[in-house]
Amino acid sequence: MTNIGQTGTAAGGQTARGPKRRLRRRPGPFPVTIVRPATVTVESVTPTQRARQAEANRMAREITEASRAGTWPDLGVDMRLRLHQIPAVREIVRGVVRDASALAANLPADAVRIGRNARGRVVVIVLHAAEWSLLLCPAQPHPEVWAFLDDFSGAGIAFYGDGDLLSVQWNDMADNVFTALDT
- For the full predicted model, state whether its pTM sits above 0.75: no
Quick: pLDDT tens for 56-115.
Answer: 999 999 999 999 988 878 776 567 777 777 788 888 889 999 999 999 998 888 899 999
Over 60: is that where the pLDDT of 23 sits? no
Greater model confidence, 8 or 35: 35
Over 50: is that where the pLDDT of 131 sits? yes
**What is the rounded distance in angstroms from the CA atom of residue 90 to the CA atom of residue 72?**
30
Q: Is the peptide bond before 27 cis (omega within 30 degrees of 0)?
A: no
Over 70: is that where the pLDDT of 24 sits? no
Report pLDDT for 91: 87
Residue 61, C-beta contacts closer than 8 angstroms, at least 6 positions apart: 115
* Domain extent listing, the chain: 47-181
**What is the rounded distance in angstroms from the CA atom of residue 27 to the CA atom of residue 48?**
42
Report pLDDT for 28: 45
Over 80: is that where the pLDDT of 130 sits? yes
Max distance between CA atoms of the chain, in angstroms, equals 95
Over 80: is that where the pLDDT of 31 sits? no
Report pLDDT for 132: 92
